[in-house]
C-alpha cells in the first residue's frame, strides 16, 4: 500500500492554496464543496477562483509565497507551474509535518487527491498513487454507472436510523439487521419518497430481530491451495460477513487480507506434531462462538472435506443444533497439479486418482500399499515432505517400478511454487538436497512424465 487512505473533514477548516491559475481552480472547486475556508496566495487570481474563495469565507493574498503563509492552516495545496515554488512549499510542509499536495507531482506530496465519486454522504475515492491517473479515471467512470445518483439519499436515510437500531439491538445483531435492510425493499421506497412505508418496514424488522433466536452460525470454507484468485465467489461472500475467523497455517496472508477487516482473528494453526490448538478445542470453540450469536468463519486450506477435518467439526455443530454451511475449495491436488502442468488423469497414463495422507487419526499410518502399485492410476500424497523417503521405499518394496515418474510440488499455486521431478528412486535425494519447505504435495504416476512439455503452458 503506497498511500494510506483517509477522508479529511475540512468543514470550516483553513486550507492554504498556492497558485491562482487553472490548476488551482480545479482543486479549489473540490475544497469549496468540502466546506473548507480557503486562503489563496498568488500574485494573480482567476475571477472564478476569487469568487469561490470569497464564498468559502476565505481570502486572496496578492503576493508571492512565503514560509510564514504556512501558519494557521491544516492542509496545503501547491498548484503553480513554477517547479521551484512547488519544491519549496513541499520541503517546508514536510519539515513541519503539515499535509501537502503538489498537483501532478507525487514525489513532492505527502498526500494525494484521488478520483472522486460523490454520492454524499457516500464518497468513493480511487487512487493509483499517481502512477496511472487516467486508469483511475477510467475506473471512476465504470463505478459511476454502478452507483445510482440517489444512493446518497438512501445512505442519509440509514444515518437517521443509527441511534434507533443501536438502542433496539445488541451489537452482534446490528450488522445482520443492516445487511437485511440494504438487501430489502427500503432502498426503492426511499427513492420513491415513500418514507412512511420505509419506516414501517424498519419498525417491523427491528421487532422481528429482537424476538429472533440469538444463535449464530458457522461457515466451513475452503480457502484453496494458496492463490487468492482461486477462492470461490461464495467463499469471498462469507469472508466478508463473518464476525470471527478461525484459520490455520495453510491459509496465506493474501487470502486473509480478503477477510472482513474488523472481524476477530483466531489462529488455530497446526504443523506436524505441533498443534497451536487441539482439534477438540477447535470444535468446541466453533460451538461456543456460535452460541454467542456470532457468524463464525472456519477458514481451511484446500477443501474442508479432503484431509481438512471438516467432518469432525460439523459433527459437533450438528449435535449442538448450530446452523452451518460448508463451502468447498480447490483441493491442493487439483490446484498444485494444474499449476505444475501435471494432468491428474490421462487416457494413456491414468484412469483414476488416489488422494492419500500419512497422517490419519491417532497417528495410524496403515496404508494399503498393495492397492497403490497399479500403473494405471495417479497417486497424490498430502503432507508428504517428512514421509517422502518412506513412501517411495514402501511403493518400490510392494512392486511399483523404481523408474515411476514422481514430482514434489512446494508451495503450490503461490509465487514461491517450485516443482521437483524425478522417479521413485531419485526423488528423495533430490528433495534432501533442495531445502524444500512445507507445504508440499507428492504426485506419482505416468502423468508426471508429461510435465516438462506442459508446464510452459501454465498461466
Query: Is the Cβ–Cβ distance between 408 and 340 less than 8 Å?
Result: no
Name the grid cell of 166. Answer: 443501536
Expressed in angstroms, the distance from the first to the final Cα of the chain is 26
Burial label for 249, CB within 10 Å (0-12, 13-18, 19+), is middle
Query: Is the Cβ–Cβ distance between 56 and 31 less than 8 Å?
Result: yes
Sign of CA dihedral 152, 156, 162, 168: negative
Report DSSP state, residue 173.
H
Q: Is 270 a residue of the active site? A: yes
Collect all residues with Cβ–Cβ distance below 8 Å to 445 and sequence separation of at least 6.
349, 350, 375, 377, 378, 379, 404, 405
Of 69, 243, 248, 303, the active-site residue reads: 248
Q: Is 243 a residue of the active site? A: no
Query: Is the Cβ–Cβ distance between 163 and 174 less than 8 Å?
Result: no
Q: Please tell me whether residue 61 adopts helix, strand or coil conformation.
A: strand
Buried b (16+ CB within 10 A) or exposed e, 422-453: bbbeebbebbeeeebeebbbbbbbbbbbbbee
The CA-based dihedral angle spanning residues 402, 353, 236, 255, taken in that order and rounded to the nearest 10 degrees: -10
Torsion angles phi and psi, residue 386, rounded to 5: -65, -35
Query: Is the Cβ–Cβ distance between 324 and 314 less than 8 Å?
Result: yes
- In terms of DSSP bridges, do strands 405-410 and 440-444 run parallel, antiparallel, or are they unpaired? antiparallel
Distance separating alpha carbons of residues 215 and 294, to the nearest angstrom: 7
Query: Is the Cβ–Cβ distance between 390 and 367 less than 8 Å?
Result: no
Collect all residues with Cβ–Cβ distance below 8 Å to 401 and sequence separation of at least 6.
375, 424
DSSP strand E in 174-305: where?
217-222, 244-247, 264-267, 270-271, 274-275, 295-300
Q: How many helices (H) and strands (E) in the chain?
A: 16, 19
Cα separations in angstroms, 118 against 121, 125, 252: 8, 9, 35
Name the grid cell of 172. Answer: 452482534
Residues taking part in catalysis: 248, 270
Amino acid at each position: 500500500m503506497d498511500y494510506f487512505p483517509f477522508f479529511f473533514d475540512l468543514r470550516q477548516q483553513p486550507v492554504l492554496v498556492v497558485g491562482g491559475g487553472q490548476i488551482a481552480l480545479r482543486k479549489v472547486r473540490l475544497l469549496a464543496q468540502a466546506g473548507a475556508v480557503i486562503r489563496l496566495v498568488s500574485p494573480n487570481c482567476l475571477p472564478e477562483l476569487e469568487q469561490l474563495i470569497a464564498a468559502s469565507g476565505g481570502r486572496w493574498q496578492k503576493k508571492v509565497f512565503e514560509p510564514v503563509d504556512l501558519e494557521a492552516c491544516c492542509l496545503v495545496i501547491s498548484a503553480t507551474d513554477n517547479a521551484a515554488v512547488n519544491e519549496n512549499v513541499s520541503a517546508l510542509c514536510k519539515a513541519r509535518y503539515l499535509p501537502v499536495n503538489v498537483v501532478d507531482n507525487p514525489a513532492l506530496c505527502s498526500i494525494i487527491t484521488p478520483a472522486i465519486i460523490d454520492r454524499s454522504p457516500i464518497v468513493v475515492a480511487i487512487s493509483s498513487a499517481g502512477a496511472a491517473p487516467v486508469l483511475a479515471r477510467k475506473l471512476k467512470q465504470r463505478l459511476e454507472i454502478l452507483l445510482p445518483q440517489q444512493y446518497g439519499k438512501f445512505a442519509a436515510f440509514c444515518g437517521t436510523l443509527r441511534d434507533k437500531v443501536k438502542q433496539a439491538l445488541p451489537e452482534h445483531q446490528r450488522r445482520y439487521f443492516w445487511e437485511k435492510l440494504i438487501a430489502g425493499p427500503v432502498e426503492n421506497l426511499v427513492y420513491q419518497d415513500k418514507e412512511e412505508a420505509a419506516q414501517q418496514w424498519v419498525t417491523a424488522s427491528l421487532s422481528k430481530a429482537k424476538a429472533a433466536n440469538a444463535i449464530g452460525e458457522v461457515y466451513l470454507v475452503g480457502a484453496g491451495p494458496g492463490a487468492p484468485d482461486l477462492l470461490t465467489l461464495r467463499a469471498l461472500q462469507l469472508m466478508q460477513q463473518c464476525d470471527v475467523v478461525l484459520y490455520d497455517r495453510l491459509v496465506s496472508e493474501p487470502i486473509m487480507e480478503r477477510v472482513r477487516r474488523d472481524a476477530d482473528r483466531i489462529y488455530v494453526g497446526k504443523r506436524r506434531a505441533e498443534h497451536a490448538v487441539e482439534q477438540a478445542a477447535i470444535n468446541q470453540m466453533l460451538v461456543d462462538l456460535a452460541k454467542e450469536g456470532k457468524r463464525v468463519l472456519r477458514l481451511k486450506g484446500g477443501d474442508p472435506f479432503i484431509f481438512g477435518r471438516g467432518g469432525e467439526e460439523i459433527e459437533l455443530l450438528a449435535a449442538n443444533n448450530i446452523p452451518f454451511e460448508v463451502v468447498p475449495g480447490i483441493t491442493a491436488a487439483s490446484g498444485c497439479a494444474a499449476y505444475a502442468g501435471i494432468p491428474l488423469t490421462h487416457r494413456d497414463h491414468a484412469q483414476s486418482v488416489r488422494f492419500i495422507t500419512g497422517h490419519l487419526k491417532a497417528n495410524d499410518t496403515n496404508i494399503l500399499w498393495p492397492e497403490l502399485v497399479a500403473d494405471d492410476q495417479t497417486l497424490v500424497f498430502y503432507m508428504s515432505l517428512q514421509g517422502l523417503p518412506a513412501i517411495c521405499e514402501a511403493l518400490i518394496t510392494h512392486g511399483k517400478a523404481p523408474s515411476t515418474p514422481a514430482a514434489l510440488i512446494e508451495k503450490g499455486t503461490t509465487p514461491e511454487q517450485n516443482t521437483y521431478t524425478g522417479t521413485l528412486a531419485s526423488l528423495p535425494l533430490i528433495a534432501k538436497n533442495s531445502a524444500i519447505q512445507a507445504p508440499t504435495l507428492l504426485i506419482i504416476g505416468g502423468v508426471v512424465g508429461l510435465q516438462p512439455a506442459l508446464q510452459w503452458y501454465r498461466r
